[in-house]
Amino acid sequence: MRIGICPGSFDPVTNGHIDIFERGSQLVDKLIVAVFENPSKKPLFSMAEREEMLRETTKHIPNIEVVSFHGLLNQYAIEHGATIIIRGLRALSDFEYEFQRALLMKKVEPRIETVFIMTSTQYSYISSTGIRELACFGGKLDDMVPDYVEKKLKEKFADKYNA
């Protein structure tokens, strides 16, 4: 069985992420969408909230499992039989960062391959950071996040949307 992992903070999950999950899930028998805690970021949503949003928004993809983890990705991957890391790319700047990470992963765990998937053009401008900023100020989120995530963002920033 070919197992892949698509790791990220997903704070929040966007339509760009969903696009990568849908396409990445076709490359493996099982795709683990792994929510991790980034110590350099202060998340808007808790790990449990992010997991719940991911489960809700990926339930149409039959071979996805949503998990959260702490620690090193290479250790988690090997412990769970994954040999492929799937990374989404929006721009050249993403590639430079992800390329360095992939080389480091290859150094520490040669059995793991990293696969890059370019986002679909319609999502190339979407980032979780941008979505959080829009939502914080009550902006329109049309076609950028799944409906369920939009609802959760509007709950977080109810004062901005009910003004």
What are the beta bridge partners of residue 63? none
Q: Is 150 inside a domain boundary?
A: no
**CB-based contact 68:47 (threshold 8 Å):** yes
Quick check: is 142 in a domain? no
- Please give the model's pTM, rounded to 2 decimal places: 0.92
17 has binding-site annotation: yes
Q: Is 70 annotated as a binding residue?
A: no
Q: What CA–CA distances, in Å, run from 70 to 26, 36, 78, 109, 111?
A: 26, 6, 14, 18, 21
Low-confidence spans in the chain with pLDDT less than 50: none
Question: Is 129 annotated among the ligand-binding residues?
Answer: yes
Catalytic residue among 25, 50, 128, 152: 128
Instruction: Please check if 125 is assigned to a binding site.
Output: yes
H or E stretch including 8?
Answer: strand 3-8
* SS3 assignment, position 148: helix
Q: Return the pLDDT at 163.
A: 54
The pLDDT value recorded for residue 93 is 76
Any domain includes 135: no
Task: For residue 32, give both structure tokens.
Answer: 């683990």
* Coil vs helix vs strand at 6: strand
The answer to whether residue 133 is domain-embedded is no
Give residue-wise pLDDT tens across range 114-154: 999 999 999 999 999 999 999 999 899 989 999 999 999 99
| pLDDT at residue 159 in the model | 79
Residue 148 placed within a domain = no
Into how many domains does the chain fold? 1
* Tokens at 8, concatenated: 């990220």
Enclosing domain of residue 59: 1-119
Which amino acid makes up residue 145?
A: V
Rg of the chain's alpha carbons, rounded to an integer? 16
Report the CATH number at residue 79: 3.40.50.620
Percent of the chain with pLDDT over 90: 77
Identify whether 161 is part of a domain.
no
In a domain, 143, yes or no: no
Cα–Cα distance measured from residue 31 to residue 148, given in angstroms and rounded to the nearest whole number: 21
Segments in the chain forming alpha helices (H): 15-24, 47-57, 73-79, 92-108, 128-136, 147-156, 158-161
How much is the pLDDT for 15?
Answer: 97
Does a structural domain hold residue 159? no
2 labelled catalytic: no
Active-site annotation holds for 25: no
Of 23, 55, 80, 90, the active-site residue reads: 90
Catalytic, 68? Answer no
How far is the C-alpha of 130 from the C-alpha of 67, rounded, in Å? 24
